[in-house]
Amino acid sequence: MASKEAGKLEWRISVDNGTTERLVPKSGLIEKIFLWLKGLLMKVMVEPVAKFMRKAWKIGADDPAKVVHCLKVGLALSLVSIFYYMRPLYDGIGGNAMWAIMT
């Protein structure tokens, strides 16, 4: 059971004799280090990705043609990369055609 009093969350459990016992969260050195590393990871890796995704969503909502163009360019570069790494197809198409598509 949990109760919220004055901004603190308190957990109690029922004991065999009918009373309740308060559970105190651990706050040792290892837990503090873990929480610090978790916060650092969130700040360094997750927040920039979330910021980028919000910005990309805003650009896509403002101008959908840019999103379509980005998808077309991404598809073209992916196909060119596949052809480039498959040597027989690259030899058949030629290097100039590859660079024409990539540029």
- Tens-place pLDDT, residues 44-100: 988 999 999 999 899 889 999 999 999 998 998 888 778 777 766 666 666 677 677
Contact between residue 77 and residue 71 where contact means Cβ atoms under 8 Å apart: no
Same-domain pairing of 82 and 39:
no
Domain limits at 95? 63-103
Q: Are residues 4 and 42 in the same domain?
A: yes
Question: Based on the domain organization, do 81 and 99 belong to the same domain?
Answer: yes
Return the pLDDT at 24: 67
Output b/e per residue, 35-51; b: 16+ Cβ within 10 A.
eeeeeeeeeeeeeeeee
How many structural domains comprise the chain?
A: 2
pLDDT of 29 reads: 87
Residues 6+ apart with CB under 8 A from 58: none
Question: Are residues 57 and 7 located together in one domain of the fold?
Answer: yes
pTM recorded for the entire structure: 0.45
Residue 69 and residue 35 in one domain = no
pLDDT of 3 strictly over 70: no
Judged on CB neighbours under 10 Å (0-12, 13-18, 19+), 60 is middle
